[in-house]
Structure 1
């Protein structure tokens, strides 16, 4: 660079303008060209800028300053675009890497869909619930992503947030390939209905068997009771003692409260209860015949006219 004392007044104005405009932030240099014009090189501007026309032209300095400002602005815009392009390129490379990782995980899981479905169905039927299905799928996704990360040769570092996002995408693919929760709920419900349907015939058969057994017992009870009575040895007992004993037993039975009497009679079998009812009916019939005989004997003894008795009864 030549000494500034060797430059013309016009060129000194150009140099002063550059110093004021660029300051200390942007380096620049200048020199006199062969045609006696000033050649200026500014950092960030790929081509040199020359002073134009002649110093006598009043617009020459203005044109030069405008050109410098225009080139600086263009250089600044280009500098701003470059980081953005690099950032976009980096983002694109990262997305491609993540997409490839996701594709590998989905491809690996797709080959295991049948086995995973079988395992899930067995788990639902065994545990009688569908709550653990989603947790199991999350574990499967994490394991698949981890294996894919270990298998790839090159790749950028994944932040926890990015890794979680990848796992979410793979989990979404897995949920789409496997049956939904509604499918497993319906499967569980159908199994419960099938079990209930299998139990009902067994319960009906058991109930029918119990009814038949009860009927057999009811039908054979009088026969068994008669056989027991027939097998008992006959003991000679006087009618008087028997009547006294039965009378005392019947009196004691009637002396009980109604609840105690019913509770005692509930211990009888059906056959015994029927026999007791028949005996009571026979006893009542015998008492009625005995009362009739007593009334007839009284009428004969008193020699009362039968017509008078009948008319008196009708009047009453």
Structure 2
């Protein structure tokens, strides 16, 4: 908005006309639209005024000037009707008023060149402090800085009293407030940021709760799996032990049978009568279990091969 190098020659002429025509008591602001038109807002004028970028008609600037003058005149007439006629305004000397107006315009021009930076800084301060109270302080400091710089740049001029300085700051603040965002804008911004922050916090809490629930579920599953694995490992160990016992028994029995008959008899003679009877009983039981196992294996083979039982019986009888 404030970098006039980006404006066309026609738009620069319109901006200069606004600065010259509108006195120091009438704030205005302007910006370029997406269609490359110049949008002008004037304090007291109820509607924005637009002008083109590079009009082909040379009378376009004159038409724009006439429209501005007409709208400003109408606005001032409405203000005069609303004002109390009993109040007598004190008119300042022309030279002194011109000097003050020039000083105000220079300050406003200086502030206008830094407008975008000031908007960004002001918004940052509002968000950091989470309050619109910092706006007044920030703008007051900016006005004092611009006014001090303008006074230093002034070649000549009378001494400005404290009361007059306060009046200048008030008028410059009127221009700056018109160009800068309103307090209502910052209030809405804070409200939206607060709602967005609350939404983020709620989402974060929900995500954290979801993660905790997932962790609990995973821990429960892991505990269940650990219990299952523990049981399975116990069963595997038990099975392995039984297998080892069987292998030990088989190896012991095989070792006994690999002995010579005399050595085996000599070894068995060391048993008592009850132990010998128990051994005979165990041998008979083992033979019975083997026989049952063989029968089950034969039956399974007959079913698997689908062999006729009559043919098998006849073959057995024939043998």
Report 1 or 2 for greater relative contact order, CA contacts < 8 Å, sequence distance ≥ 6: 2
Give the TM-score, by structure 2 length: 0.41
Give the TM-score, by structure 1 length: 0.41
